[in-house]
Amino acid sequence: MSTICETTLRVRYAETDQMAVVYHSNYIIWFEVGRVELLRQLGFSYLEMEQDGLNLPVVEVKCRYRHPARYDDEIVIRTRLSQMRTSLLGFHYELLRKADGRLLAEGESVHLVVGRDMKRTHLTGKYLAAFHAAAEVAQLATHAEAQAATQAETKS
Protein backbone atom coordinates (compact mmCIF):
# COMPACT_ATOMS: atom_id res chain seq x y z
CA MET A 1 0.00 0.00 0.00
CA SER A 2 1.37 3.41 -0.94
CA THR A 3 1.55 6.00 1.81
CA ILE A 4 0.92 8.87 -0.60
CA CYS A 5 -1.97 9.30 -3.01
CA GLU A 6 -1.26 11.48 -6.04
CA THR A 7 -4.10 13.06 -8.00
CA THR A 8 -3.76 15.49 -10.87
CA LEU A 9 -6.11 18.27 -11.93
CA ARG A 10 -5.94 21.31 -14.20
CA VAL A 11 -6.76 24.79 -12.93
CA ARG A 12 -10.02 25.95 -14.48
CA TYR A 13 -10.71 29.56 -15.35
CA ALA A 14 -13.56 29.70 -12.83
CA GLU A 15 -11.07 28.92 -10.02
CA THR A 16 -9.02 32.05 -10.68
CA ASP A 17 -9.36 35.72 -9.87
CA GLN A 18 -8.90 38.69 -12.20
CA MET A 19 -5.12 38.18 -12.14
CA ALA A 20 -5.48 34.56 -13.35
CA VAL A 21 -4.26 33.40 -9.90
CA VAL A 22 -6.16 30.64 -8.10
CA TYR A 23 -8.48 32.03 -5.44
CA HIS A 24 -7.34 30.87 -1.99
CA SER A 25 -10.42 28.84 -1.01
CA ASN A 26 -9.93 26.50 -3.97
CA TYR A 27 -6.86 25.00 -2.33
CA ILE A 28 -9.10 23.65 0.46
CA ILE A 29 -11.40 22.13 -2.17
CA TRP A 30 -8.36 20.49 -3.78
CA PHE A 31 -7.40 19.05 -0.39
CA GLU A 32 -10.80 17.35 -0.38
CA VAL A 33 -10.17 15.96 -3.88
CA GLY A 34 -6.92 14.43 -2.64
CA ARG A 35 -8.50 13.06 0.54
CA VAL A 36 -11.38 11.40 -1.31
CA GLU A 37 -8.93 9.79 -3.75
CA LEU A 38 -6.79 8.54 -0.85
CA LEU A 39 -9.88 6.81 0.57
CA ARG A 40 -10.41 5.13 -2.80
CA GLN A 41 -6.77 4.02 -2.76
CA LEU A 42 -7.46 2.48 0.67
CA GLY A 43 -10.25 0.41 -0.88
CA PHE A 44 -13.48 2.32 -0.27
CA SER A 45 -15.20 5.58 -1.11
CA TYR A 46 -16.38 8.34 1.18
CA LEU A 47 -19.90 7.66 -0.10
CA GLU A 48 -19.53 4.07 1.11
CA MET A 49 -18.51 5.33 4.56
CA GLU A 50 -21.57 7.60 4.65
CA GLN A 51 -23.83 4.73 3.62
CA ASP A 52 -22.34 2.71 6.50
CA GLY A 53 -23.23 5.52 8.91
CA LEU A 54 -19.80 7.18 9.27
CA ASN A 55 -18.97 10.80 8.47
CA LEU A 56 -15.72 12.75 8.71
CA PRO A 57 -16.48 16.42 9.36
CA VAL A 58 -13.53 18.80 9.26
CA VAL A 59 -12.69 20.15 12.71
CA GLU A 60 -9.48 21.93 11.69
CA VAL A 61 -7.83 22.91 8.42
CA LYS A 62 -4.62 24.81 7.68
CA CYS A 63 -3.07 25.91 4.42
CA ARG A 64 0.33 27.52 3.81
CA TYR A 65 0.53 29.23 0.45
CA ARG A 66 4.03 29.15 -1.06
CA HIS A 67 3.62 30.18 -4.70
CA PRO A 68 0.59 31.03 -6.82
CA ALA A 69 -1.17 28.50 -9.00
CA ARG A 70 -2.42 30.00 -12.25
CA TYR A 71 -5.03 29.34 -14.87
CA ASP A 72 -4.32 26.16 -16.88
CA ASP A 73 -1.54 24.92 -14.56
CA GLU A 74 -1.62 21.19 -14.03
CA ILE A 75 -1.59 20.55 -10.28
CA VAL A 76 -0.46 17.40 -8.47
CA ILE A 77 -2.22 16.84 -5.15
CA ARG A 78 -0.23 14.62 -2.78
CA THR A 79 -2.22 13.35 0.17
CA ARG A 80 -1.20 11.13 3.06
CA LEU A 81 -2.61 10.07 6.39
CA SER A 82 -0.71 11.98 9.08
CA GLN A 83 -2.65 11.05 12.22
CA MET A 84 -4.91 8.17 13.11
CA ARG A 85 -6.96 7.43 16.16
CA THR A 86 -10.17 5.42 16.15
CA SER A 87 -12.24 8.60 16.29
CA LEU A 88 -9.91 11.20 14.73
CA LEU A 89 -8.04 11.32 11.43
CA GLY A 90 -5.43 13.77 10.18
CA PHE A 91 -4.34 14.28 6.58
CA HIS A 92 -1.38 16.16 5.10
CA TYR A 93 -1.46 17.71 1.63
CA GLU A 94 1.07 19.08 -0.83
CA LEU A 95 0.04 20.89 -4.01
CA LEU A 96 2.71 21.00 -6.70
CA ARG A 97 2.83 22.43 -10.20
CA LYS A 98 3.40 19.41 -12.45
CA ALA A 99 5.50 21.27 -15.03
CA ASP A 100 8.30 22.22 -12.63
CA GLY A 101 7.54 20.35 -9.38
CA ARG A 102 7.31 23.63 -7.45
CA LEU A 103 5.52 23.40 -4.11
CA LEU A 104 2.55 25.76 -4.34
CA ALA A 105 0.86 25.05 -1.03
CA GLU A 106 0.78 22.55 1.78
CA GLY A 107 -1.66 21.94 4.54
CA GLU A 108 -3.37 19.69 7.01
CA SER A 109 -6.90 18.80 7.96
CA VAL A 110 -8.25 17.04 11.03
CA HIS A 111 -11.52 15.10 10.91
CA LEU A 112 -13.70 13.74 13.68
CA VAL A 113 -15.40 10.38 13.10
CA VAL A 114 -19.13 10.78 13.74
CA GLY A 115 -22.25 8.73 13.18
CA ARG A 116 -25.47 9.73 11.46
CA ASP A 117 -26.52 11.45 14.68
CA MET A 118 -23.38 13.66 14.41
CA LYS A 119 -22.05 12.26 17.69
CA ARG A 120 -18.46 11.11 18.01
CA THR A 121 -17.99 7.43 17.26
CA HIS A 122 -15.16 5.08 16.27
CA LEU A 123 -13.94 3.59 13.04
CA THR A 124 -14.96 -0.03 12.71
CA GLY A 125 -14.30 -3.06 10.53
CA LYS A 126 -12.75 -2.48 7.14
CA TYR A 127 -12.32 1.25 7.79
CA LEU A 128 -10.37 0.75 10.99
CA ALA A 129 -8.21 -1.91 9.35
CA ALA A 130 -7.50 0.20 6.24
CA PHE A 131 -6.65 3.38 8.16
CA HIS A 132 -4.56 1.42 10.67
CA ALA A 133 -2.56 -0.21 7.86
CA ALA A 134 -2.08 3.16 6.14
CA ALA A 135 -0.92 4.72 9.43
CA GLU A 136 1.63 1.94 9.97
CA VAL A 137 3.03 2.32 6.46
CA ALA A 138 3.14 6.12 6.85
CA GLN A 139 4.94 5.80 10.18
CA LEU A 140 7.57 3.48 8.66
CA ALA A 141 8.05 5.85 5.72
CA THR A 142 8.41 8.85 8.03
CA HIS A 143 10.99 6.97 10.12
CA ALA A 144 12.95 6.00 6.98
CA GLU A 145 12.87 9.63 5.74
CA ALA A 146 14.17 10.87 9.10
CA GLN A 147 17.01 8.32 9.04
CA ALA A 148 17.96 9.32 5.49
CA ALA A 149 18.00 13.00 6.48
CA THR A 150 20.21 12.25 9.48
CA GLN A 151 22.62 10.25 7.31
CA ALA A 152 22.74 13.07 4.75
CA GLU A 153 23.57 15.58 7.49
CA THR A 154 26.29 13.30 8.84
CA LYS A 155 27.94 13.08 5.40
CA SER A 156 28.02 16.87 4.95
Structure confidence by residue, pLDDT tens digits, 28-64: 999 999 999 999 999 999 999 999 999 999 999 999 9
Model-level pTM? Answer: 0.88
Question: Which residue ranges of the chain lie beneath pLDDT 70?
Answer: 1-2, 141-150, 152, 156
Domain boundaries, the chain: 5-155
Which pLDDT value is given to residue 25? 96
> What whole-number distance in Å separates Cα of residue 53 and Cα of residue 114?
8
Which pLDDT value is given to residue 2? 60
Q: Is 20 left (phi over 0), alpha (psi -120 to 50) or beta?
A: left
Nearest to 3 by CA among 127, 67, 92: 92
Which pLDDT value is given to residue 150? 67
What single DSSP character describes residue 23? P
Which pLDDT value is given to residue 137? 79
Which pLDDT value is given to residue 28? 98
Decide: helix, strand or coil at residue 32.
Answer: helix
Range 5-155 classified under CATH 3.10.129.10? yes
